[in-house]
Amino acid sequence: MEIVTHKKTKHIGCPIYIRRINTTFEYLTVIRGEIYSQLVIFKPTLTGRLMHAVGAWKTPYIKKHLQSSIFYLIAMAEATIETILDVDETGKKNKKIKVTHITDSDVEKLEAENNKK
């Protein structure tokens, strides 16, 4: 089993750790003292697997594929942090939006009012 730590970064004061366990990539982030994690499997290309098998490459991933996988995981972690903290990408608190639930009877009333006009 191959475990590799790829990148450590921060977003809005929360640390983000990226690691790879064989073909499974994982991000870990700590938000308000709780750990959040997500696993994603990115399968390497056939060329990458062959080059790794013969020892020509250190990993079965093409550098560009590896970078895009890490970028994708960082974006996922940032979205998790923003959602949990209820902030936007700059760290500002999101405005509260009042949600109005419309029922079938409300729709019927509106249709009746529109038909009268």
Q: Where are the domains of the chain?
A: 3-116
Task: In whole angstroms, give the CA distance from residue 18 to residue 52.
Answer: 21
**pLDDT tens by residue, 78-96:** 999 988 888 887 778 877 7
* 25 within 8 A of 36, measured Cβ to Cβ: no
Q: Burial code of 30-65, b = ≥16 C-beta within 10 A, e = fewer?
A: ebeeeebeeeeebebeeebeebeeeeebebbbeeeb
**pLDDT tens by residue, 6-35:** 878 999 889 999 998 888 899 999 999 999
pTM of the model: 0.69
